[in-house]
Amino acid sequence: MYFKHPDEKVVGFFRSTTPELIIRDPEIIKKILISDFSYFYGRGFHPYKRNIEKLIQNLFFVEGDLWKMLRIQMTPAFTSGKLKAMFPLIVERAENLQQRTLLAVKKNLPIDARELTARFTTDFIGACGFGLDKIQKKVQNEIDEVLKKHDNKLSYAAVKEMTCLEWTFKEAMRIFPSLDYLIRECTRKYIFEDLGFSIDEGVKMMISVAALHKDPKYWHNPEEFRPERFSREEFTNVKKDVYLVFGDGPRVCIGARLGLMQSLAGLAAILSKFSFTPAPERVRRPPVVPTSDIVQNINVIPLMFHERH
Instruction: Check binding of 178 to ligand HEM (CB under 6 A).
Output: yes
DSSP string, 216-271: TTTSSSTTS--GGGGSHHHHTTSPTTS--TT--GGGS-TTHHHHHHHHHHHHHHHH
One residue of 2, 176, 246, 305 binding ligand HEM per CB under 6 A:
246
Please say whether the beta carbons of 144 and 137 come within 8 A: no
* Min CB(301)–ligand HEM separation in Å: 16
Closest by CA to 266, choosing from 154, 133, 115, 138, is 154
Q: Give the residue, chosen from 9, 30, 46, 71, that forms a contact with ligand HEM under the rule CB under 6 A.
A: 71
Task: Check: CB of residue 89 under 8 Å from CB of residue 95.
Answer: no
CB of 248 to ligand HEM, least distance (A): 6
259 forms part of the interface with ligand HEM (CB under 6 A): yes
Give percent helix, percent strand, percent coil of the chain, each to the nearest 5: 45, 15, 40
Contact between 251 and ligand HEM by CB under 6 A: the answer reads yes
The secondary structure of 14-52 as a DSSP string is EETTEEEEEE--HHHHHIIIIITGGG--B-S--TTTTT-
Instruction: Select from 89-97, 104-112, 142-150, 255-263 the region that touches ligand HEM (CB under 6 A).
Output: 255-263
Q: Counting contacts by CB under 6 A, is residue 248 touching ligand HEM?
A: yes
Q: Any contact of residue 66 with ligand HEM (CB under 6 A)? A: no
What gap in Å lies between CA 97 and CA 51, rounded to an integer? Answer: 39
Q: Under 8 Å CB-to-CB from 182, ≥6 apart: which residues?
A: 33, 206, 207, 209, 244, 247
Q: Is 113 in the site for ligand HEM (CB under 6 A)?
A: no
247: contact with ligand HEM by CB under 6 A? yes
Q: Does 60 bind ligand HEM (CB under 6 A)?
A: yes
Beta strand pairing call for 197-199 and 190-192? antiparallel
Q: Does 253 bind ligand HEM (CB under 6 A)?
A: yes
Least distance CB 288 / ligand HEM (angstroms): 15
Among residues 112, 123, 180, 241, which is the contact residue for ligand HEM, using CB under 6 A?
123
128 is in an annotated binding site: no
The backbone region for 202, taken as left when phi is positive above 0, alpha when psi lies in -120 to 50, beta otherwise, is left
Told to check if 104 binds ligand HEM by CB under 6 A, we report no
CB-based contact 250:278 (threshold 8 Å):
no
Contact region with ligand HEM (CB under 6 A), list: 151-159, 177-185, 186-194, 212-220: 177-185
- Residue 258 binds ligand HEM, judged by CB under 6 A: yes
Q: Does 131 bind ligand HEM (CB under 6 A)?
A: no
* Alpha carbon distances (Å) from 99 to 10, 94, 112, 274, 302: 49, 9, 15, 11, 18
Helices (H) and strands (E) in the chain, counts: 10, 9
255 is a site residue for ligand HEM (CB under 6 A): yes
Output 110 or 203, the one with its CB closest to ligand HEM. Answer: 203
Q: Which of 10, 252, 288, 304 binds ligand HEM (CB under 6 A)?
A: 252
Nearest-CB residue for ligand HEM: 247
Q: Is 168 in the site for ligand HEM (CB under 6 A)?
A: no
Annotated binding-site members: 253
What are the residues binding ligand HEM (CB under 6 A)? 59-60, 71, 123, 178-179, 182, 245-248, 251-255, 258-259, 263
